[in-house]
Structure 1
């Protein structure tokens, strides 16, 4: 992986998880080096303040070294992002969905996105919503937030529920006077002063905790980068002290530091969290239940995203075993095969081309089986893209089944005519 940070491109070996680990170790090392450097510099400056005269060569060299240390460019150390929970009390009921369905109708198409979804979200729920693009994930969050009405069924929020909604495109930034507003004006729309850890702080002070210095707080929103807009939207949402969070692709455009702090924040958050995300590592850290869009229905899986993938692979293997068992059970016994073979001999004999194809299948099928075993072992490894490998395995199983069907068909014919 290659990270671009402060105009520097730095290369990392391994996958995303290994990158995060290396990044933490690197920052710890840089902090330690900086601390040692500052200690040495303080000692040298103390010696210099004593007013030594550069009489000897050693003293001249020491004074020159101090000057070089002072002139040395200092590594930019990021300020620590503070994202503290301001959530309010939540009752026993968070969100109740009962028979919810949604159809999108236009002049040409009638698209059913969701059928008969029923579920009661608890105050402690950590739910991930996944599925193909266009399946209805973001629309489901709109239904819960009340910005869209279901075609059938109903969604009810608890009496004490206060929803914080971070939509995928941070639409809130474009409302009102839009991107011409100043950063601090955008936050003050939610509150001028905030109770933070028992202390009253201003919106400006809270912005500083979210890494927006005073010099940037009076800049228009249109000058912010994608990541800064995302961080600002998080800041405004948390000011309103929600106890239910709806997060649509929250990791989009976030830097590593903000992403890490957000993960820790959600771990300590006192309330219900519903997340739509394609980020496997983020889902693994933040949720313990998944709803997957499957042909317009939301199917429930317990556990995080990695556990969901394991269940899907196991399900595919069970289906494969069932299909094979059915195929074996449907095969005729030896006596029936002999009668059938004698009957087929009267009809026609195996052609030369078919005999050649049968021999090729005899060689090819064992090789495909070995490849299948290799992919199954690969899936069980730690450093692998399970989703991609599972897709390869599913395609291979389909090829094997086609070849086996053809092999059975050819085997039931007699020897070729001479």
Structure 2
């Protein structure tokens, strides 16, 4: 295999932490590498080292001569004054870039809903992230490094991105380095997994499912003292084998070894027992949405949710799917009572104690100056979890905090740490209805696994909004989608949702090669016509620019003149559209 880039005895150290001791690794042609590990262990630093955005303290990073490396970091690097179109294709005319199938596919897959002439500075954070990802993907690269590329993507966008990366390079060519907490995406795209931990990078063959198996085997054979972590991963492995068999049917997954390891692992959750407990805590009536509709502005604006008729029962574990802006958070607001419907009503059971884990974590703002130890001291001494008493400190450790971290101030915590503390405080408020709004934000895969394990034994009603397919399939038993403002149950789960929104679940089909049947004379004629159209498009572009200038300087009170100029401009633009369509037809014929 051809070497693309790598690291030789790389050492990296920060004032408070040795990130890498002496790491040696390589990326070869055809590599599709997923990078996992706890937050703060060095995943992003590894990407920065390999893409030359960070220099090691010692050792060296090597790369093939002339290697083209593109990287997507977590920081926003876009110029706010440029338009979306200029950011993606520069000042190239449409007929120049539109002939590239890859560019057309990226634009359609990521930014088709964003105005082409909108200034980047006017976009939302999620839109800017998608433009930044599209800006990277429209160019040619030998190696692409992506740091949390699924952030701000909806389920359709994540599915599209997986298919794009699967088809972007020919087999055994190109290189992909990927840091993500989205385990479904990781399993779809990666064929190798690197785990970053304790100053080293440990390679595993296969995607996330194969990594989990090998990690369990590693812990078992080494007889490590991390018994709690080992048991947690064995339970995760049981989910992979029982709950998502298609994912573990890949040839590289050693099924017999997996079955042996999970032979004595009980089911993820006893749904019958949990339903009994939930009914005892909640009664039969939980929350009913009766013919509910919501619009913005309220009562007179654009409809967001239409005629929702939905009864949420005790012990229901529900996942909500939908595109960005479809109304998922609005639906949670209706359930929580923070949003009032325009029509219909929301009926809440008398025994409901509801808690919300929102996206922002604003409820921790009042605790910013407090130390974690002080927050824990204000709680009860023990709580019952899975039939036994645990202290808040023990529960926080279960969610990934070290004992020496309890002296830290809440305001100094990382995004992932704040998320863990927020989850623990939410659960310890002892709700019987729990609403989770994008709970995977800023959370690593270990934390996700610990959260799922904790929720397995939680007896209550659970409603989850997330674009994380793995999480939804793992912790919910039924899924609904918001489509055109209406709520629809999905007996077929996520796959049914993707069919309904007309997005394939796998890579896009490869179009058959167009037969070359043109004679020499026909080809010359087509090439001549193509060149003529290119010259015409250039002239039309100049005319349109001149017409815009004339329109801007015209007396605005002259409505007749303004109408005439506008009509002339539309005629020119229609002519450009016709010429560009013919240009694309000829380009495809000549390819």
Distance 1:185 1:138, change over 3 A: farther
Match of 2:362 in 1: 171
Aligned to 1:31, which of 208, 219, 235? 219
Aligned to 1:21, which of 192, 196, 209? 209
Correspondence 1:244-263 to 2 at 5 A:
244-263=433-452
Match of 2:489 in 1: 300
CA displacement, residues 82-136 of structure 1 (integer Å, 9 cap, x when unaligned) = 9999977221122111122222228xx9232212211111113222222221222
Deviation at 1:137, TM superposition (A): 1.0
**Equivalent position SS for 2:302:** strand
**Equivalent position SS for 1:180:** coil
Aligned equivalents of 1:184, 1:154: Cα separation in 2:
43
**Equivalent position SS for 1:119:** strand
2:480 pairs with 1:291: yes
Deviation at 1:201, TM superposition (A): 4.3
Match of 2:318 in 1: 127
Q: Which structure's relative contact order is higher, taking Cα pairs within 8 Å and 6+ residues apart?
A: 1
Aligned equivalents of 1:141, 1:149: Cα separation in 2:
11
Aligned equivalents of 2:37, 2:288: Cα separation in 1:
43
Deviation at 1:197, TM superposition (A): 5.1
Distance 1:100 1:204, change over 3 A: same
**Equivalent position SS for 2:352:** coil
Match of 1:117 in 2: 308
**Equivalent position SS for 1:217:** helix
Match of 2:291 in 1: 99
Where in structure 1 are there 5+ consecutive unaligned residues? Answer: 39-74, 316-355, 358-418
Aligned equivalents of 1:267, 1:306: Cα separation in 2:
23
Aligned equivalents of 2:347, 2:384: Cα separation in 1:
29
Contact 2:36 2:445 in 1 (8 A): no
Match of 1:7 in 2: 42
User: Could you say which structure has the higher helix fraction?
Assistant: 1
Distance 1:186 1:138, change over 3 A: farther
Distance 1:185 1:81, change over 3 A: farther
Contact 2:399 2:447 in 1 (8 A): no
Match of 1:155 in 2: 346
Match of 1:331 in 2: none
Deviation at 1:276, TM superposition (A): 0.6
**Equivalent position SS for 1:253:** coil
Aligned equivalents of 2:210, 2:373: Cα separation in 1:
35
**Equivalent position SS for 1:211:** coil
Aligned equivalents of 1:230, 1:26: Cα separation in 2:
28
RMSD: 4.0
Deviation at 1:267, TM superposition (A): 4.1
Distance 1:27 1:93, change over 3 A: same
Match of 1:145 in 2: 336
Deviation at 1:81, TM superposition (A): 7.3
Deviation at 1:311, TM superposition (A): 5.4
Aligned to 1:195, which of 384, 392, 402? 384
Deviation at 1:247, TM superposition (A): 0.8
Deviation at 1:80, TM superposition (A): 7.5
**Equivalent position SS for 2:401:** coil
Match of 1:338 in 2: none
Match of 2:587 in 1: none
CA displacement, residues 354-376 of structure 1 (integer Å, 9 cap, x when unaligned) = xx99xxxxxxxxxxxxxxxxxxx
Deviation at 1:248, TM superposition (A): 0.6
Deviation at 1:298, TM superposition (A): 2.2
Contact 1:284 1:306 in 2 (8 A): no
Deviation at 1:188, TM superposition (A): 5.1
Aligned equivalents of 1:290, 1:199: Cα separation in 2:
31
Match of 1:181 in 2: 370
Please, what TM-score do these two structures have when normalized by structure 2? 0.41
Contact 1:289 1:303 in 2 (8 A): no
Distance 1:189 1:148, change over 3 A: farther
CA displacement, residues 148-175 of structure 1 (integer Å, 9 cap, x when unaligned) = 222222212222222221111122112x
CA displacement, residues 216-251 of structure 1 (integer Å, 9 cap, x when unaligned) = 112111222222111111111111222222111112
**Equivalent position SS for 1:252:** coil
Contact 2:305 2:327 in 1 (8 A): yes
Where in structure 2 are there 5+ consecutive unaligned residues? Answer: 1-33, 48-176, 188-205, 236-268, 505-524, 527-591
